[in-house]
Each structure stands twice: as structure tokens, then as C-alpha cells.
Amino acid sequence: MRKRWLWTASALVYAFLYLPLVIVVAYSFNDSRLNAEWVGFTLHWYRVLLDDEQMLRAAVNSLLIACTASGVATVLGTMAGIALHRYKMKFLLFLVLTPVAMPEILLGVSLLLFFIQVLNLTLGLFSVMIAHITFCIGFVAIVVRVRLAGMDESIFEAARDLGATPWQTFRLVTLPLIMPGVIAGALMAFTLSIDDFVITFFTAGVGVATLPLQIYSMIKIAVTPEVNAVSTLLMLVTLGLIVAASRIAPEVLKGKA
Amino acid sequence: MSKRDRLLKWLTGGPPFLFLLVFFVAPSLIVIVASFRFPGEYGGLAPLIVDGKANLTLETYRFFFSDFIYARVFIKSFGMALATTLICLGLAYPVALLIARGNKKFRDLLVLLVVLPFASNFLIRTYAWMIILGPQSAFSRAINGVLGWCGFAPVTLLFSSFAVLVGMVYVHLPFMLLPLYANLEKHDPALLDAAQDLGASAWQRFWRVTWPLSLPGVYSGAALVFIPVLGMFAIPEILGGTGDILIGNLIKDQFLGTRDWPFGSTLSILLTLVVLACAGLAAWFSRQGVRHA
Amino acid sequence: MNGFFTAKDAKEKQKFRVSLANLCVLCGKSLLIFWFSQIAFAADVLHLYNWNNYISAQTVARFEAECHCTVVQDYYSDNEEMLAKLAAGASGYDILVPTGNAVDALIRQGALRPIDKRQLPNFKNLNPAYLNTAFDPGNRYSVPYAYTLTLIGYNVEKMRALGVPTDTWAAIFEPKYLAKMKGRVTVLDSQRELMAAAMKYLGYSANDTDEAKWRQARDLIIRAKPYWAAFNASSYIKELTVGNIWLAHGYSSDMFQAAQDAKRAGRPFTIGYSAPKEGAILALDSMVLHKSGPRPDLAHRFINFMLDGKNSAELTNLIGSGNPNLAAMPYIRPEIAGNAAIFPGREQLARLEMLKDIDRNHRRVLSRMWTEIKLH
């Protein structure tokens, strides 16, 4: 009997989770400029989307930033994860976890002030990249550390006993074993970077629109179904990445605690 | 540790440490200093050194504490975060239980189904609620129809605190669900069988066995919901009505509206202190919980 | 065990190295293309930082054809946003289109390049009523572009049915009228604009910085707030058109668009708009040259191009903005040119005010009052 109650409650929650997304996707095909009532089916808004130069520029920017930021963050985060697991650096742990735990608005604001007051750097693509790397390192480090924690230490001892140098141990033993974690971390960093809104909002200069910023300006100004269209496409892309991540390292999703 | 090990330690840990030192610790210190500076005449910050002396002031903190109104905004944000966390807990727990106790074959699929909405940008999810709660939508008309039938005046669902709460809960639900599920999955079913054999009712089994064991997951999920909600500004801006101003909106307004950067910094620092205090409390609670479990 | 590791690992290493190499090449290529395209674009490019939807695409296309150059546009939706982004170090903009009080702030900061009127033969087309403003006497830095009024837009039939007067700010501030329209009124989400409207209704100048008068305005707003649906900066156009909102505080160009949309959608009501008799706010947007712009020569050509009557009229016909250019009048559609809310007559003009920038201490006080208003 309890099972039935659990099932209905869960079904309702899943419905709550999906109904809005279904509506967004459905209305992207709506033949009306306003998002108020259903009029008819059309692919018009997708065509408008593909012609929208600003949107395409924003998409290219997002991809560029996400690729670079996740690449650098993966390298730095992997190093941090290994260092944390192997050498238990308390201070590094604090530095790595705090950007993850703080509200994003604080990170955005502090980086804005830092770039302008100290570095006197003009905000632009570069400033956004640095900001993204900063908050992505933590996620990659956590994933790599979780992966290392679940491994048998004796493998590394065996490699050392057999005469491998530290670099050889890393290259031939550690890296292949943690590779699923590294890739999952990279994919997670990529998704976070491409989706990030608050930090990008504060650190993007003029002329650097990313997709979330573009969507935000569209929501505030012209709420045409073009927003629905871009949302649908964005959902499909990010979904693909998450599915890929879950295939490569399934324990990442579950070990989030 | 041998010299070689120490060298390796700094070789692997060094670069990320340096990067975060420069791009996380230093900016945080800048914010602290900025909260003591004067605002620039046309925006930004006034110069730090004027005539060889440091141009600092306690004025911004005095301004914050001179009026209870800013504390009210903090309390309001705190309340919204608490409400969001509790509602997320209430919605996420049954689903997490179901997935954890359910058939092993479907677990991954069900977890993926939970993560799927996460795949869309949170602005899109907020925007979806603009459509659903708008006065022309089927949902609004249904609710108002029922209310009208019961004799109440029609309500506008959009641009209200209710809409903001719905938006916040919706966006943060997966953050509560995943840690809960991760914890519940590790529970040993034998414990529940033993409790049943000892004569415990279904409710007692839940309250005395499942709930205490799940507390670490609950705290993780609560932290992952509570802290981000405190800093949000986009959702109140898009879904909120005339009174829905949270601390995130205030901070954003100081930087990109009033051009009062020192005051924005002050608000940011006070928010950080509140967050740290809450994190400290949560850590203390979870340690108590572990002691009792 | 050693052999097992090296064998399996060699194949994986090889695969990994190949894919890594491919990825590097791909990244390198795309980065190169990106950098080169940036350099190529720098050739004959005009960087324009403008309001959203504040220039017709045809006008831009015609200018690009005439000058054999490219116009790259960036947009902002609020003066404060633009000022904040510029304060944050944004540079490389040739032309900005700020409103009066923002021009004021920019001039005083020394952020603008003086205009060379010798390169602007079309300058004489401008209406003298919009020249020599308080913030730029002699028009050394700014050239008027377009203007809007902040006023009230309304559902004509509904207002007539409810008996609400539409020529006064009382419609949004007096509970006796608001009670009839509870939840159907929106106001602008702008500190300066809403306070200015309240000050005008109380009979004060919108630029008065006396805190006692501000407190009166604040109390007036707080009294009316329970009847308002929302503070809204942009979606009120849609709400008016669809019929959810019956009265909105907003910009004349937005109201023009709402009226057009309602007519096109075949709604059973019409949208009207008028400037209240107590006075309204005039927002005069001017073209200015930012000192970090790389191409002042192209910028002058653009300004001269926009000062030509026919080009200037295109924006007015598109969005219903006011036009300070006398040479444009023949090209403007008669129903727009004759609309007193878009082209105010001389006595109406005397009652309009332009907002001035306020100093940092008053900004802080105003910001606190705004928080009080929102929280109340």
C-alpha cells in the first residue's frame, strides 16, 4: 500500500518536472508572435533563429568559452584532485570547494571588481573564460577525487615496486584509471560553462554575448517563440552531453553528495 | 615525506593552488576592501589613495545598519530559501525513496529522467513558468474557475511571491534529489527487515530507521538548495511582482543600476557571512546527527 | 602484471594520442579563423552601441552600401546598463546613443570626443527646440537622434466605461480610480521614471532633489502600490495588446507599437496614449562619439547620414519615436506626425522635462527609497 502512495507522489513530481518543458517545446512550433495561446503549427521560428546573427554569434561565443574553459579547468582540476587525494592538502581543499559552495553572484561580483580595479582589464571573452575556469576547477577536482578514492591503492604501490618513475606511474597507471572521471569532469565543466548565467552576466564585456545572456535579454524584451526554439535546441545539446557523461562514468551522477 | 614527494606535491597541487589564489582569494579580498571605499562620482569606485592617505570609510556599513529595511530584505531572502528547501525536500524524498527501493534495472533510467530537465538552462525553465502561470494559460483559468466556483476573487499567479517560489523550487529540485538518492541507495534493506521482524509499523520503520540514516543526504541536498537560492536574482526579476526583491536583486542593482559599488560590496560580504554561518550550522547539525544515529 | 599494463595501455595511449592530436588541430584551426576574422573585420567597421530595436535594418543596410563598410551593433536596454558596462572598461565603440542624463554623466567624465560639425552638413536639419540642452550647450558632443515621452497608455474602451480620466497622472496614483482597475495597471520598473512621475503629479520638478519632497513622492507611490499588478519595463506592450492590462506607465514608442499590434490582431478594443497635463518626462536620445572609438571618420559619416530627412524618418515610421529633425517631417506618416503624444506641440513641450543625472549621495538615498517602495 505504501508503494502505491510512493508511486503516485513520484508520478506527480515527474509531471511537475516535465510539464513546463513540454510546453516550451510545444510552443516553439506555435504560429503566433505571442506566447499566450496556441494558434497553429509552424517551423517559422526555427528559421528565424537560424537567420538571427546575434544569436549565432552568441552560440559561437558560448562554445568557444566552454571548450577553452573546460579544457583548462579539466587539466587544473585533475591536478588538484590528485594532489588532494594523494597529499591531503587541507588549504587546497578549502580553495577548491569554496567557489563551488558560494552563491554565484558573489563570485561574479568579486571577479568584476578584481578585473577592473586591480588588473585594469577590459572585460571581454578573456575575462569570462577566467571566471568560468575558476568555478569549474572545483567540480572536476571533486569528480577526480571521488574516482581516486574508490580505487585500490595497491596498484600504485605495485607500480612503484616494479621500478616505475612517478611520471611513468602517472602516465601508465593513474591517468588511464581515472580517465573516465576526467572525461566526466570535463563534460560537467563544459555543461556548467555553457549554461552559466550569473557569473557571465557580471564578467562579460560589451560585445560578448553568450547564449544564456542572449536568452535573458530576449526574455526581458521580446518574448517571441524564438526563445522557445533556442531553448529546445539548447536542451537537446546539453541532454546529449549529460547522457554521454552518465555513460562514461555512471557513479559521478550518484556520488554528488 | 621525502624531498621528492614534497616536490611532487607542489608540482601537482601548485598550479591549481596558484590559479585559485589569484582568481578567487584576491578578488574576495578586493571586495572586502571595496566595501570600505567611497563610490565614484559617476560610478565605480573612488580612488583608493587620495593625497597619500587611504580613502576609506565605514559609511557603507553605517548606511546598511541605519535602516532596518536591508535586514528585512535579508530576512525575506532567508525565508524564501528556507521555504524552497523544505518544499524541495518534501517533493524529492518520495521520488528518491522510490528510485532507491525500486527495481535495479530502472534505477539509472529514472535518475536520468530526473537529471534531464537539468539539461536545460535555468532561464528557460523560469520562462516556462511564465507561460504556465500567465493569466491566459489553461492552468490559470482552471484555478480561477475553481476559485470563482468557491466564491473567491480571481488571483493572478504570475508576478507574485508564489510564482517566485514555484520557480525557485522547480529550478533546484534536482539538486535536492540527487544527494538524497545517493544516500538512500546505500541503505541496507536488512535493517528494515530486522525492524519489521521486531514488530515496528511502517511509520516507525521510516521514522526510526530510514530518516536518521538519510540525514547526511538531507543536509547535502539542503545545502545545495539553500545557498544558491540566497544569491538568485533572475527568478524574482522575471517571475516576481512588485514586492519581490531579494538580496541578489539588491546586489545586482547596486552594481548595474545605482552604480554604488561600495554598497554592493558591503551587501556581498554580509551575504557571505550569512552563508558561512549557515554552512557552519549545517556542519554542526550533521555531526550531532551522526552522533545520535 | 607489468606486461598486461603496457600492452592494453599502449593501444589506449595510441587512441588517446590520436584523438588528442585531432582535437588540438581542430581547436587551433578554429582559433586561427576566429582571430583572422576579427582582424579582417577591423578594416572598415563602425561599432554602434544602441538601444534594442532603435534603428531600422533597412537604414543600416543603406548606410553600409553607401559607405562600403560594415556596421557592427551591440545593444543595451537601459542607460544604467550602458553606463555600468562602460565603467567596467568596455571600449571600442564609435557611437553610443544615450539619453540626456547619461550624456550628462559621460560629458562630465570626459568620456566623449567632441563633434566636428564641419563634417555634418545635415546638422542644419535639426529642430532648434531640441538643441542647446542643459547638459550640452552648443551641442559640442551630442547630436539629437530621437526622443520618446514617458506617459500612460490605456485601453480606450475600458477607460471610458469605467470613467477614468486619461489626461492626468491621477489615473495611476489615485486610489479612487485605481480601485476600479485593481490588478490591471502596471508601472515602469525604473527608480528615476516612477519618482519623476510622482513628483510631476505633486507639482514639483522631476529634477528636484529635496529629500522631503522625495519622501512625499515615495508615500504617494506606496499608497498606490497595492493596486498595481507589477513593475514592468517591457512586457507591458504585450499585456496591453492582449488585454490583460488596461493601463500602463510606459514610453510613447512602446504604446505606438501596442496600438499597432492591437489593430493588426483585430482586438475589440483600441490602445490610446497621452501625456498627462501635469507634465511628462522627455527622453532625448543623442548620438555621441566615445573617445575609445577607432573610426571617428566613419562615425561622422554615419551621423550625417542619419541627419538626412528620409533616413531619419524611417525609425519614426517604424517604432513611432519622436523626431527632432525638421527635414524628416515630409517623410513621416501623417497619423504619426499629427499625434500630440509623439510630436508634442510648443505648449506641451514647455511642460515636458528632461531628467538630469544626480550625484552619488542622492543616488544612494534614492536607492534606499526604492528598496522601501519595493518592500512595502
Give the count of domains, chain C: 2
Q: In whole angstroms, give the CA distance from residue A99 to residue C256.
A: 47
Same domain membership, residue C159 and residue C227: yes
In a domain, C347, yes or no: no
Helical H runs in B134-246? 138-150, 161-185, 189-197, 202-205, 211-231, 234-239
Same domain membership, residue C50 and residue C160: no
- Select the residue of B69, B257, B258 nearest C375 (Cβ to Cβ): B69
Instruction: Look at residue C43 in the predicted model and tell me its pLDDT.
Output: 62
Instruction: Pick B287 or A92 by higher pLDDT.
Output: A92
In a domain, C16, yes or no: no
In a domain, C174, yes or no: yes
Same domain membership, residue C302 and residue C274: no
Same domain membership, residue C325 and residue C197: no
Same domain membership, residue C264 and residue C125: no
Q: In whole angstroms, give the CA distance from residue C235 to residue C229.
A: 12
Instruction: Pick B263 or A208 by higher pLDDT.
Output: B263
Residues of chain A with Cβ-Cβ distance to C34 below 8 Å are: 64
> What is the total residue count of chain B?
293
In order, the DSSP letters of A127-141 are HHHHHHHHHHHHHHH
Same domain membership, residue C330 and residue C203: no
Q: CA of A247, closest CA in chain C: separation in Å? A: 18
Residues 6+ apart with CB under 8 A from A38: A26, A27, A30, A32
Say whether C87 and B67 touch across the interface (CB within 8 A). Answer: no
Q: How many CB atoms lie within 10 A of CB C165?
A: 12
Q: CA of A112, closest CA in chain C: separation in Å? A: 8
C81: closest chain B residue by CA = B256
Q: Which residues of chain B have pLDDT under 70?
A: 1, 43, 51-52, 119, 136, 153-154, 242, 286, 288-293
Q: Which grid coordinates are listed for C155?
A: 485601453
- Select the residue of B73, B76, B256 nearest C80 (Cβ to Cβ): B256
CATH code (residue B153): 1.10.3720.10
Same domain membership, residue C174 and residue C52: no
Q: In whole angstroms, give the CA distance from residue B260 to residue B270.
A: 16
B39 beta partners: B45
Q: In whole angstroms, give the CA distance from residue C273 to residue C166.
A: 8
In order, the DSSP letters of C150-206 are EEEEEEHHHHHHHT--SSSTHHHH-HHHHGGGTT-EEE-S-HHHHHHHHHHHHT--T
Dihedral (CA of C71, C75, C78, C80) sign: negative
Residues of chain C with Cβ-Cβ distance to A123 below 8 Å are: 85, 88-90
Say whether A9 and B95 touch across the interface (CB within 8 A). Answer: yes
Buried residues in B50-70 as b, exposed as e (16+ CB within 10 A) = eeeeeeeeebbbebbeeeeeb
Which of A74, A46, A29, A87 is closest to A193 using CA atoms? A74
Helical H runs in chain C? 2-41, 57-67, 79-87, 100-109, 156-162, 170-173, 175-178, 191-202, 211-224, 236-242, 252-264, 296-307, 309-319, 334-337, 346-351, 360-375
Say whether C108 and B42 touch across the interface (CB within 8 A). Answer: yes
Q: What is the pLDDT of residues B153-209, one digit of tens each?
A: 667 777 788 889 999 999 888 888 888 888 888 788 888 888 888 888 878 888 888
Say whether A172 and C1 touch across the interface (CB within 8 A). Answer: no
Give the count of domains, chain B: 1
Q: Which grid coordinates are listed for C367?
A: 536607492
Interhelix angle B247-256/A104-113, nearest 10 degrees:
20
> Interface partners of B (3+ CB pairs, < 8 Å)?
A, C
Q: Which of B242, B252, B254, B259 to mutate to test the interface with C (most CBs of C within 10 A)?
A: B242
Q: Which of B3, B18, B20 to mutate to test the interface with A (most CBs of A within 10 A)?
A: B20
| DSSP 8-class letter at B38 | P
Residues of chain B with Cβ-Cβ distance to A215 below 8 Å are: 121, 123-124, 127
Q: In whole angstroms, give the CA distance from residue B29 to residue B247.
A: 21
In a domain, C22, yes or no: no
Q: Which residues of chain C have pLDDT under 50?
A: 1-7, 36-37, 39-42
Instruction: Look at residue A61 in the predicted model and tell me its pLDDT.
Output: 86
Residues of chain B with Cβ-Cβ distance to A243 below 8 Å are: 112
Q: Which of B12, B168, B260, B263 to mutate to test the interface with A (most CBs of A within 10 A)?
A: B12
Dihedral (CA of A68, A69, A75, A78) sign: negative
In a domain, B161, yes or no: yes
For chain A, counts of helices (H) and of strands (E): 13, 0
Say whether C75 and A36 touch across the interface (CB within 8 A). Answer: no
In a domain, B7, yes or no: no
Domains of chain A: 50-254 (1.10.3720.10)
In a domain, B43, yes or no: no
Say whether B67 and C368 touch across the interface (CB within 8 A). Answer: yes
Say whether B159 and C229 touch across the interface (CB within 8 A). Answer: yes
> Interface partners of A (3+ CB pairs, < 8 Å)?
B, C
Q: In whole angstroms, give the CA distance from residue A161 to residue A156.
A: 9
Same domain membership, residue C227 and residue C203: yes
In a domain, C60, yes or no: yes
Instruction: Look at residue C6 in the predicted model and tell me its pLDDT.
Output: 44
In a domain, B35, yes or no: no
Same domain membership, residue C168 and residue C247: yes
Instruction: Look at residue C4 in the predicted model and tell me its pLDDT.
Output: 36
How far is residue C51 from each of residues A61, C254, C287, measured CA to CA in Å? 22, 13, 11
B171: closest chain A residue by CA = A17
Residues of chain B with Cβ-Cβ distance to A71 below 8 Å are: none
Q: In whole angstroms, give the CA distance from residue B238 to residue B216.
A: 34
Same domain membership, residue C174 and residue C235: yes
- Select the residue of C12, C34, C91 nearest A176 (Cβ to Cβ): C12
CATH code (residue C52): 3.40.190.10
Q: Which grid coordinates are listed for C284?
A: 532625448
Residues of chain B with Cβ-Cβ distance to C244 below 8 Å are: 135-136
Q: Which of A109, A171, A206, A214 to mutate to test the interface with C (most CBs of C within 10 A)?
A: A206
Look up the ipTM and state it: 0.78
Instruction: Pick A248 or C296 by higher pLDDT.
Output: C296
In a domain, C4, yes or no: no
Say whether B264 and A109 touch across the interface (CB within 8 A). Answer: yes
Which of B238, B247, B190 is closest to B213 using CA atoms? B190
Q: Which domain holds residue C324?
A: 46-146+283-342
Same domain membership, residue C237 and residue C167: yes
Say whether C77 and A121 touch across the interface (CB within 8 A). Answer: no
Q: Which of B123, B201, B269 to mutate to test the interface with A (most CBs of A within 10 A)?
A: B123
Q: Which domain holds residue B136?
A: 67-292
How far is residue C42 from each of residues B36, B103, B204, C293, C298, measured CA to CA in Å? 41, 61, 73, 12, 12
Burial class (CB in 10 A: 0-12, 13-18, 19+), B230: buried
Residues of chain B with Cβ-Cβ distance to C80 below 8 Å are: 256-259
Q: What is the pLDDT of residues A158-198, one digit of tens each?
A: 888 888 887 788 888 888 888 878 887 888 888 888 888 88
The overall average pLDDT reported for chain A is 80
Same domain membership, residue C243 and residue C132: no
- Select the residue of B5, B120, B128 nearest A23 (Cβ to Cβ): B128
Residues of chain B with Cβ-Cβ distance to A141 below 8 Å are: 16
In a domain, B8, yes or no: no
Residues of chain A with Cβ-Cβ distance to B112 below 8 Å are: 242-243, 246, 253
Instruction: Look at residue C39 in the predicted model and tell me its pLDDT.
Output: 47
Q: CA of B217, closest CA in chain A: separation in Å? A: 7
Instruction: Look at residue C2 in the predicted model and tell me its pLDDT.
Output: 40
Q: In whole angstroms, give the CA distance from residue A131 to residue A114.
A: 11
In the three-class reduction of DSSP (H, G, I as helix; E, B as strand; rest coil), residue C283 is classed as strand
Please state whether the predicted TM-score (pTM) of the whole model is above 0.90. no
